[in-house]
Structures are given as structure tokens and as C-alpha cells.
């Protein structure tokens, strides 16, 4: 599905207004700092199960396969860097497409299996698996000049929930600035777009959140406030969608800077039927613009399901919208101060409808 271009959007509220630095998401409730850490992150990617889920995501894997194998003229004879290689599937695609050399960098213990996989498929003369964090490893230096090689292409499957979760994009930018040829280097993918829309979800909201208001006659509503601060990652039925879809943020990976990973951006969505909006839904597309025929991988509810699903941010109240009425606001995101792989997310929204008006800042933590 083609989503509309953003038009005449209001100016976003500053990031520090929507997400004050160091402030917990206390508008809808407190946040318990998560148990996640960088150690847990890499440990989770050491187990084959998470890689099984990603490889079995046919939409994801086949899009990458098409982007690489259908563009052999881009990869043939080139030097490729695979950032966060996992089992090495993207490296193998690049080798099959004719790459002269592929450096597959992976920090998690799955790198050991990646070496076995590369050898078992007779590409060990092309693919070299390097274990370590991208910011700490070195590529094999030229024995004569002592210089690290520059690469022609960087491939990476860096996207997380809400696009930015786990902050692997920062590692891709580091690799780009250190090793990618500045003039004619390619990134696969090289762009992304984040979208937002509004949904009706009364049944789930009642079951998941309102339940805490009366637990066998006791008031557990403090848990409800806590639960509302955690984004839900799940599949959204297209029949739930009440509004149009607004592109919030567009990324060009050739120009993106690390400081741009903390951001705020305006949005406006318009009701396409009379209904209630209980939550905002955020999803993303990634773009392969370096292909002969550009490709897009979509994680939206109108597209084939992916393991990224969609990210659902529940509101503090239901908003009754008539067809044509509009919600305006700012969506903001910042890497968490305690664990940069976690996200602090904020929404400032304004609504003035025929039945009610509302204005609020809501804050969430994804961990």
C-alpha cells in the first residue's frame, strides 16, 4: 500500500518538552527500569531460536535476497561488510551474488555457527566471520600499507521494533563512517520511513488495562498506569484502523548522523469513519534505493506480516472522532540514558472534536 505524503504538518514540540532528559514517563505512570542490558542483548542473539524466527520471516528474508541477488551487477567483484551478521545469511547472499570479499561482523556467540555455515556452503574463501562489536573490531589490514580496507557495500538488518529499538542503527552509521567508500559506496537498505495511525481497540484495552481497576473487589489501578507505559508489539487488524496513515519520519542512511537518533517529529491523522481511537500504531518501511529496481520492505498492517509486527501506544483515554476530525501532535524518541538499547518514547497530542477536546503528553518505555 502507498501511504500519503505528509502535508502542512504543524511544527513539532521540542524533544526536551515531550521527553525531558532524565525524567521518567510519569504522566501515565512510573516506569520500572528494565532488566535488559547490552550483555542480555548479545546473549539473546547467541541462541539459534531468534535467528530461526528472523530467517522464517519470509517477507524480511526474501526482500533482502531479492535486493542482493537481483542486483548482481552491484555486488559482482565488490567488497561487502555485513554489520550484525547473525548466522551469515546476508553474507551468503552477497557471496552468491559474486562479491569478491565479505566481512561478516557479529558479536554474539552465534558467530561460531556462522563460520560453520559459511564453510559448509563452500564460501569460506569469500566470507570471513569476525567476532566482536562493530565499534571495536578491525578489518584485516593491507600487509604493505597497513591500512584497513574500504568496502563498496554495507548490508545489515538493523531494524528493531519501532524501527529504533536495540539501537543497532548507530553501529551501521559507525561502520559507514569508518569503512564505506565515500563516493560510490552503497547501503542495503539505505532509507526508512516511520508511520503512525489511530485504531479502535476497546475490547483489548478493557481486557488488558481496565481489568486492574477492580481485581476481586480491590483497586489495582496503579498497575494499570504502569501497564500503559509499555508499548505493545502485536499485529493490528486493518479493520481496527480508524484514521489515515501519516509519515512521521524519513531517514536517509547516507546522510543520517548519530545525534539524529534522538528526535521529535510532528504528525496529524484524520478520522476516516465515526469511531473511537484508543491507541496510536507505529510501523515502518525500509527502502533499498541502490537497486536497479528499488525495493521496499513494509511492516505495516496492510502488508504481509513480519516478525516486527506493529508497535501500539495506548492512550490515557478513548477519543471519539467523527469522520474528518483530526488529531495533531508530536512523536518523540530518545535512547534511554541507563541502557541505550532501550527507548524512551513520548507523544504529545491535541484533539478538538465535536464531542470532546483533549490535550496530553504521554510517555512510554520500550525495554
Least confident of 6-15, 51-60, 104-113, 294-303: 6-15
Residue-level pLDDT at 48: 54
Per-residue confidence band for 5, with pLDDT thresholds at 50, 70 and 90 = low
Higher pLDDT, 156 or 44: 156
Residue-level pLDDT at 8: 57
d(CA 136, CA 216): 54
Least confident of 8-22, 77-91, 184-198: 8-22
Order the strands of the 127-131 sheet from edge to edge: 127-131, 101-106, 79-83, 153-156, 186-188
* Tens digits of residue pLDDT in 274-290: 999 999 999 999 999 98
* Tens digits of residue pLDDT in 258-272: 999 999 999 999 999
Per annotation, catalytic residue among 13, 106, 157, 200:
157
Q: Evaluate if residue 295 carries a pLDDT over 80.
A: yes
* Tens digits of residue pLDDT in 35-75: 444 554 555 545 455 658 878 889 999 999 999 999 999 99
Read out DSSP for 27-38? TT---PPPS--H
Put residue 324 in one of left, alpha, beta given phi > 0 → left and psi -120 to 50 → alpha: left
Contact between 125 and 101 (Cβ < 8 Å): no
Delimit the CATH 3.40.50.150 region(s) of the chain. 37-157
Per-residue confidence band for 350, with pLDDT thresholds at 50, 70 and 90 = very high
Active site annotation includes 157: yes
Residue-level pLDDT at 235: 96
Per annotation, catalytic residue among 106, 166, 325, 328:
166
Cell of 23: 525524567
SS3 category, 5 = coil
> For the residues 128-152, what does the mean pLDDT come to?
92
Contact between 79 and 149 (Cβ < 8 Å): yes
Q: Evaluate if residue 305 carries a pLDDT over 70.
A: yes
Cβ-Cβ contacts under 8 Å for 140 (sequence gap 6 or more): 128, 148, 149
Per-residue confidence band for 24, with pLDDT thresholds at 50, 70 and 90 = low
DSSP lists the bridge partners of residue 21 as none
Q: Evaluate if residue 228 carries a pLDDT over 50.
A: yes
What is the CATH code for 7-31+191-367?
2.70.160.11
Delimit the CATH 2.70.160.11 region(s) of the chain. 7-31+191-367
Per-residue confidence band for 133, with pLDDT thresholds at 50, 70 and 90 = very high
DSSP 276: E
Active site annotation includes 116: no
CA distances from 20 to 13, 16, 132, 347 (A): 12, 4, 34, 12
Distance between the two ends of the chain, CA-based, in angstroms? 30
Cell of 327: 488529531
Residue-level pLDDT at 206: 83
CATH class of this structure's domain 37-157: alpha beta
d(CA 228, CA 314): 6
Amino acid at each position: 500500500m502507498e501511504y500519503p505524503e505528509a502535508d502542512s504538518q504543524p511544527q513539532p514540540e521540542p524533544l526536551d518538552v515531550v521527553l525531558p532528559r532524565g525524567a521518567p514517563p510519569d504522566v501515565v505512570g512510573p516506569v520500572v527500569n528494565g532488566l535488559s542490558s547490552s550483555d542480555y542483548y548479545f546473549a539473546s542473539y547467541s541462541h539459534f531460536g531468534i535467528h530461526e524466527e528472523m530467517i522464517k520471516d519470509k517477507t524480511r528474508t526474501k526482500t533482502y535476497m531479492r535486493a542482493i541477488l537481483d542486483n548482481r551487477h552491484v555486488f559482482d567483484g565488490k567488497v561487502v561488510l555485513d554489520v550484525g551478521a547473525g548466522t551469515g545469511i546476508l553474507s551468503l547472499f552477497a557471496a552468491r551474488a559474486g562479491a569478491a570479499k565479505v566481512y561478516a561482523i557479529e558479536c554474539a556467540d552465534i558467530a561460531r555457527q556462522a563460520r560453520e555455515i559459511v564453510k559448509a556452503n563452500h564460501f569460506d574463501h569469500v566470507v570471513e566471520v569476525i567476532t566482536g562489536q562493530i565499534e571495536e573490531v578491525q578489518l584485516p589490514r593491507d600487509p604493505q600499507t597497513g591500512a584497513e580496507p574500504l568496502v563498496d557495500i554495507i548490508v545489515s538488518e538493523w531494524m528493531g521494533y519501532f524501527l529504533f529499538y536495540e539501537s543497532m542503527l548507530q553501529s551501521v552509521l559507525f561502520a559507514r563512517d569508518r569503512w564505506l567508500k565515500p563516493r560510490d559506496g552503497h547501503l542495503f537498505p539505505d532509507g526508512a520511513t516511520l508511520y503512525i495511525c489511530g485504531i479502535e481497540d476497546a475490547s483489548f484495552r478493557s481486557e488488558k488495562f481496565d481489568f486492574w481497576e477492580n481485581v476481586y473487589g480491590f483497586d489495582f489501578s496503579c498497575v494499570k498506569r504502569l501497564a500503559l507505559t509499555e508499548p505493545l508489539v502485536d499485529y493490528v487488524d486493518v479493520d481496527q484502523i480508524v484514521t489515515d496513515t501519516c509519515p512521521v519520519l524519513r531517514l536517509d542512511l547516507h546522510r543520517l548522523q548519530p545525534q539524529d537518533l534522538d528526535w521529535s517529529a510532528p504528525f496529524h491523522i484524520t478520522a476516516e469513519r465515526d469511531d473511537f481511537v484508543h491507541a496510536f500504531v507505529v510501523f515502518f518501511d525500509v527502502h533499498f534505493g541502490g537497486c536497479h529496481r528499488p525495493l521496499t520492505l513494509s511492516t505495516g498492517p496492510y502488508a504481509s506480516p513480519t516478525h516486527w509486527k506493529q508497535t501500539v501506544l495506548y492512550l490515557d483515554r478513548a477519543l471519539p472522532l467523527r469522520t474528518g476530525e483530526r488529531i495533531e501532535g508530536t512523536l518523540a524518541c530518545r535512547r534511554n540514558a541507563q541502557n541505550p538499547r532501550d527507548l524512551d518514547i513520548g507523544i504529545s497530542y491535541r484533539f478538538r472534536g465535536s464531542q470532546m477536546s483533549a490535550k496530553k503528553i504521554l510517555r512510554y518505555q520500550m525495554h
